Structure 1
Amino acid sequence: MGKRIVVELPEIVKLPEDEIEERVKVELAIRLYERGILSFGQARKLAGLSKWEFLEILAREGKGIPYDEEELKNDLKVLEELS
């Protein structure tokens, strides 16, 4: 279990009460991932989403899909094994 914080949102933020915590977690996860504070895996866990759900949100936000050199090597290895 992590730390719990209480945030008071101004009246201008019109969100259903039962959606506030989930939306704040997703927004925070996106921003912390974007700034390199959290890894992809950490961010998606904070958001409470599967890998594919978080990828979909990043794509909608125009953040791109994380793909590093290690993933490229793995993909090339799989391609070699398949051919």
Structure 2
Amino acid sequence: MKTLTIELPDSLDLSSKDINTALAAQLYDIGKLSLGQAADLAGYSKSTFMELLANYKVSVFNYAPEDLNQDLENAKNYYS
């Protein structure tokens, strides 16, 4: 695992847990980490991390709209 050192102003009232969670949420949002990997990085269970994603305005459904539309079309064709 890589170690990253970030210097933040003392005026920011953030714990290392807050920073890890924010980073994990962002990495999940851009598709660099799976939900499980992001939850591990943040130090939470998957279910807890899923609940916390809303605090960062990140959807738990990390799914592109065009992919969803294609899947719906495939499902319609399959069951027709």
TM-score (norm 1): 0.63
Q: Name the structure, 1 or 2, with higher relative contact order (CA <8 Å, separation 6+).
A: 2
Unaligned residue ranges in structure 1 (runs of 5+): 70-83
Q: Which structure 1 residue ranges, 4+ long, deviate > 4 Å from structure 2?
A: none
> Of residues 22, 28, 46 in structure 2, which corresponds to 1:27?
22
2:52 to 57, 60, 78: 57
**Cα distance change of structure 1 residues 22 and 67 upon mapping to structure 2, 3 Å threshold:** closer
Q: C-alpha deviations, 1:3-24, integer Å up to 9, x for none?
A: 2222111133123xxxx21111
Of all paired residues, the percent bearing the same amino acid is 38
Letter in 2 for 1:51: K
Give the superposed CA RMSD.
2.1
Q: Which runs of 5+ in 2 are unaligned?
A: 69-80
Could you state the TM-score of these two structures normalised by the residue count of structure 2?
0.65
Report the counterpart of residue 75 of structure 1 in structure 2. Answer: none
